[in-house]
A and B are shown apart, each in its own frame.
Chain A
Amino acid sequence: MLHKKAFIKKTRKGKIQQIVREHYLRDDIYSGTPWDPECDAGAAKLSKDAKHYLVADTNVVLSQMDFLEHAAVEDVIIMSVVLDEVRHRNQSVYQRLRSLCASPTRRFYVFANEHHRDTYIKQEPGESVNDRNDRAIRVATKWYMSRLEPASQADQVPEIILLTNDAENRSRAQSEGLTAISIQAYAKSRTECPELMDLVAAGNLEDEAETAASRAKHAKRARIYEDHRGMADITAGLKAGKYHQGTLRVSRYNPFEGWVGSESVGEDILISGRVAMNRAIEGDAVAIELLPEAEWRAASATLPKAGADGAPAEDAEGAEDMQEDGGHIMEVVPMDISEQPPELTAASKRPTGKVVGIIRRNWRTRGYCGSLQPQQRASARGSTASVLFCPVERRFPMIRLQTRQAEALADKRIVVVIDSWEADSHYPAGHYVRTLGTIGDRDTETEVLLIEHDINTSPFTPAVHACVPQLPWSVTPADLDDPNRQDLRHLPICSVDPPGCKDIDDALHVVELPNGNLELGVHIADVTHFLKPATAIDDEAASRATTTYLVQRRIDMLPKPLTEDICSLRADVERLAFSVVWEMTQSADVVSVRFTKSVIKSRAALTYAEAQSRIDDERLHDEISNSLRTMNRVARILRKRRADAGALSLASPEVKFEIDTETHDPLDVGIYQIREANQMVEEMMLLANVTVAEHTLRAFPACALLRRHPVPAPRQFDPLLRAAAAAGFSLDCSTSKMLAESLDKAVRADDAYFNKLVRIMATRCMTQAVYFGSGECDPPEYHHYGLAAPLYTHFTSPIRRYADVVVHRVLAASLGLAPLPETARDRDGVRSLTDNLNTRHHNAQMAGRASVELHTLIFFKDRVVVADARITKVRSNGLIIFVPKYGIEGPVYFTPKDAAASAKGGARAAIPKQPVSAAAAGSAPPESEYILDEEKQTVTSPDGKVCYTIFDKAAVRIAVEETHGQRRHLVLTLVDRNELPESEQMG
């Protein structure tokens, strides 16, 4: 067991003290090649037939991960010195490299050169760490060459190639007798695989010849952006209060307008324009400098339109750059609750700043989805062309990339990664990663939205599937004999879910007890019985955190057999459950509650509609119908009680698609209907969640997983209050109860939909509810604002939410059925868990909405519809219109000029029968043609004939327009309300 080598002490200088650590050198580290006679055959990961083995240096790994990940790049040796350096410099690249090395399908071998007796080297005096590490790679490469021994004369051993883009390193390697080439040269040599060349990251790592040429070109080009300050400068500036730091949030409507929330300034700082933004993109942590107060600006009060921020032409070569801004036209966007639109009066100036340095880049390693800008001149086939890439998410700038496949990619959605952004380039430089499919294709576009929202769609690994019990599965006698599991098969349990629901995680029952009280039970699928902590399936579920529901597809958190069969509480089969059972009086006062693992047998799996008709049909007196009616009665009492406590009844513009089973195309779309049965089930789930939250918090005051909904900051209600004031009603946002009451009063006799519209707008003012560990904040902050509940958690959907799985485990631990899960034991564990849950949850929601948006586009592809609409925002050059029936919100422009300008890039809308205002006579800027009154929330035409007020009824024609930017847009056009068919009128 003892295997000791002579050791060398490695000294590392810390801040003040010297740290001495042991460093053992070994002789039992193998080379991993079948050519090495000493190497264990089982450890030989590299191929025997390879023509060459590649050794990558640190910079190649850091900048060329996409290249290395390509399936054509195999037989790569990664030195441990490279791994260490990569880990220190970029954690996410390190993770990717590690998973590449761990993959059984790829031939990547890690050689621990730092711990091998023959390849460890000491840093020479005067030698920098980088030089020492480069030398270590060369020494290890040399050692590899000595290891490869041809078994016979005829054998040709693989050549070992050192890939490095450092010219000096290359020349040193060559003088030491190694083969060293740049990554570009290597990619070029792989003529059988031309797409490799596209994967090579751009930037300043080009071939010498090219570098020289581009350097000459760069010298000619004018600098567009200021240089970023160095990190030392930034730190000093921050300390002195000269700079402020924060994360850049780019406006959804305008890619060159953004906000930086800074604690030191106290309010958001406006960053306006390309130059002020200085190459920062959405999510970057930046250092900013405030501009003098005289230069402060207001956020744009107009709808963004084409050419709004004109980029100066670079030079003749950059001519195509000119059109790029045309692409950034606002398109119809779905409702976004979390968004805070920059609602500001033209007069109110905001602190304005400019970016002076970037503290941390937030470039996505998974890449950006989008398409190539159509080229003006066709490039020769196969030659490298410089093209602009236009991301689908318009918060991001365009990306310039080099490709040999420009023609083939013209109508494709592709993924591109940003490599660098030089000060003399309008756009960041990037490289192609992969092709997703043809633009406009439903599957491709779905793939795009999944990638954009970072949702893992890869199939479950065999290790995960191995954790799933074999089908057909049934309750075993052992489960029934378990003293901790109660047999509840005799109870009249049923489930109520949306139609087509296969992952049924909750079922209900109610029976009358002999003493006249009611026994109410909520039975939740016992997922944790199958999902044991620290298994492959549990790790996977924890990282996915939630099932994502798209319109036509479901991306599961758990493998299908568990989701749809073993865990699902289907009708007429015995299933394992975790039950919450209350005894309550007829007036719904809880007498007692107990929690137990159970075996149940659901009598019926009903849809909401079926349940509702059973409740309503008074002729039915079977067990299930009766208990549904009792349940509904209890739910009404509970709902009333909650409303009295101040629970908000908010609204979301949820729509429902009818999907063709064959083509998967949407057939019809309409508002999602909510029945009393929905509310009944919801009420029962709320009760179960609250009860479990209370119980687990009592058992584990420091590590219960709860869900809270913070009270919104008063300023979040500002846009709503302003709109309300203009519309002539008042809202009281002081407490949720006051808000609920004033929302109830916001009605208009002539518009039945008005109240719902106000509720939708109120919903958008709210913050998001979040998961948290009870050790994270003070008990008063546990409050759930929307539900007006002091405590809340998620317990009722463990098949599709990981949070519920954790809560199940914590509850089981509180009952003494299982030990408390490892991750729930300490604060850090809970925090990292909840952070992931919150992000994934948000992403899944966003992906779901994006999917609705996509299907709306598909639905309107061959249709032109006139629909009832409401005005939700007024701007000086247009309106934002909301169409309740389809849940669409989008802009309508006033002037044909704006519309025409915007049509270049995408959306177009014009109001017919409007006198084209030549009256402005060119003297006034186009924005002032219409008069915007922020106070009254109205916009009036210059001649005073037409006036639009917020919340006004309107009618719009909806159509899809395809533009050269290869984006499809919904185009809304105002039409006279007379054109609106009677059937389409709301309310």
Chain B
Amino acid sequence: MEFVSPEGLRLDGRRPKELRKLRIKLGSLDGTDGSAFVQLGNTKVLAAVFGPRGAPTGARSSAISCVIAVSAISVQGDRRSKERLGRQATEFSRALTNAMEQLVPADILKNACIDVHVQVLQADGGLFAACANAALLALANAGVPLRDICAACHTGLLESTALVDLSAQESMQQAPQAAILYECRTQSIAIMQTDNKMSTTALEELLELATEGCIALVTAMRQALISSTVQQLSTSAPHASAAQRRD
């Protein structure tokens, strides 16, 4: 298999350092405190945030929880591939919950709890990145402050070429792969998740590329947040002025 042609194109026509097409839609779910739809290539996920709200009575180990669920329609194929995806989702849920406990300031979570639900609608590689980004955007949409602006990105080293944002076809290979959740301001990695054997030099190369990818994603995500906020303000502005007039 030739994952990067000598002309420098990947199987789907991207160059090694190109992300897939990213689509973000914020606040599309009613009845939630915040929501985000993220489409990364053919991977589609929907995240919803409930909270912060008063903590229920009874002890809870974690004030914030993040649950990723894989929908039945997310992937075609046999039972085994769905089960595998399910196991991955459980793993990602744990990691994201962990990361968010660190990212959401402690005072917000005092006597309060936040539930983040991510639903995978369609899976085509880069699941961790899509879920993490959707969860982060939903939190922002819900108005929950975060310690840093973050993004997640998936990379892999195929045939000694570092590729960003692997498609399902690419991530099926037994090749070094790394996904990170990156905090852009402090320039630190919140979560790193790796697959398959790799040398330290390979890991360094992947991390460098993943960081670059995260920065690009953050730019796009920030843009989406700003434009959604602007839109919200412009649609709510007439009401505000009307209210003023009434006064």
Residues of chain A touching chain B, judged by Cβ–Cβ distance below 8 Å, are 1-5, 7, 9, 17-26, 29, 80, 83, 87, 98, 101-102, 110, 112, 114-115, 534, 819, 822, 825-826
Contact = CB atoms under 8 A, between A and B. Distances in A.
Interface in B18-64: 18-22, 41-42
A7 B21 contact: yes
A112 B18 contact: no
A4 B9 contact: no
B236 interface: no
B238 interface: no
Given A17-B77, A22-B42, A102 B6 contact: yes
A17 B42 CA distance: 16
B76 A23 contact: no
A115 B9 contact: yes
Contacts of A534: 160
A17 B18 CA distance: 28
B207 to A, nearest CB: 17
Contacts of A87: 2
B82 interface: no
A20 B13 contact: no
5 contacts: A22-B124, A24-B21, A83-B5, A98-B6, A115-B9
B161 interface: no
A112 B220 CA distance: 29
Given A112-B5, A534-B160, A18 B18 contact: no
Given A2-B18, A4-B21, A110-B7, A24 B77 contact: no
Contacts of B160: 534
A2 B12 contact: no
A23 B13 contact: yes
Contact of A24 (B12, B76, B169, B212): B12
A3 B8 CA distance: 14
Nearest to B216: A1
B6 A101 contact: yes
Interface string B76-95: 11000000000000000000
Given A17-B76, A17-B77, A534-B160, A22 B20 contact: yes
B5 A2 contact: no
Contacts of B167: 21-22
A2 B19 contact: yes
A110 B8 CA distance: 11
A819 B199 contact: yes
Contacts of A23: 12-13
Contacts of A822: 199
Most buried by A among B13, B17, B21: B13
B197 interface: yes
A819 B216 CA distance: 34
Contacts of B7: 29, 80, 110, 112
A17 B77 CA distance: 7
A822 B7 CA distance: 26
A110 B9 CA distance: 12
Most buried by A among B9, B22, B77, B169: B9
Please tell me the size bucket of the interface on B. 20 to 34
B14 interface: yes
B18 A80 contact: no
Interface string B117-131: 000000010000000
Contact of A20 (B9, B21, B42, B220): B42
B169 A115 contact: no
Nearest to B20: A22
Interface in B58-116: 76-77
A22 B12 contact: yes
Contacts of A102: 6
A112 B11 CA distance: 11
B102 to A, nearest CB: 28
List the 7 shortest-distance A-B pairs measured between CB atoms, nearest first. Answer: A24-B13, A115-B13, A17-B76, A22-B12, A4-B21, A112-B7, A22-B41
A26 B9 CA distance: 10
Contacts of B21: 4, 7, 22, 24
Interface in B212-246: 212, 216, 220
Contacts of B199: 819, 822
Contacts of B220: 2
Contacts of A18: 76
Most buried by B among A2, A87, A101: A2
A7 B19 CA distance: 13
Contacts of A7: 13, 21
A526 B7 CA distance: 38
Contacts of A21: 11-12, 42, 167, 169
A826 B174 CA distance: 11
B15 A3 contact: yes
Nearest to A101: B6
A1 B18 contact: yes
A25 to B, nearest CB: 7
B140 to A, nearest CB: 21
Given A1-B216, A17-B76, A819-B199, A24 B14 contact: yes
Contacts of A3: 15, 18
B153 to A, nearest CB: 12
B197 A825 contact: yes
A26 B13 contact: yes
Given A2-B22, A24-B21, A115-B13, 15 more contacts: A1-B212, A1-B216, A7-B13, A7-B21, A18-B76, A20-B42, A22-B12, A22-B20, A23-B13, A24-B14, A29-B7, A112-B9, A114-B13, A115-B9, A534-B160
Most buried by B among A20, A29, A80, A115: A115
Contacts of A26: 13
A605 to B, nearest CB: 39
Contacts of A24: 12-14, 21
Nearest to A10: B12
A2 B216 contact: yes
B6 A25 contact: no
A193 to B, nearest CB: 28
Contacts of A110: 5-7
Contacts of A20: 42, 124
A75 B169 CA distance: 34
Nearest to B201: A819
Nearest to A87: B2
Nearest to A18: B76
A22 B11 CA distance: 9
Contact of A80 (B5, B15, B169): B5
Most buried by B among A7, A534, A825: A7
Nearest to B168: A21
Most buried by B among A3, A21, A22, A83: A22
Contacts of B17: 1
A308 B166 CA distance: 63
Contacts of B41: 22
Nearest to B8: A112
A709 B20 CA distance: 53
Contacts of A825: 197
Contacts of A4: 18, 21
A543 to B, nearest CB: 17
Contacts of B11: 21
B72 to A, nearest CB: 15
Contacts of B2: 87
Contacts of B169: 21
A25 B18 CA distance: 13
B6 to A, nearest CB: 6
Contacts of A80: 5, 7
B165 to A, nearest CB: 10
A492 to B, nearest CB: 41
A184 to B, nearest CB: 30
A140 to B, nearest CB: 14
A9 B41 CA distance: 10
A953 to B, nearest CB: 62
Given A2-B216, A110-B6, A25 B13 contact: yes
Contacts of A19: 76
Nearest to A20: B42
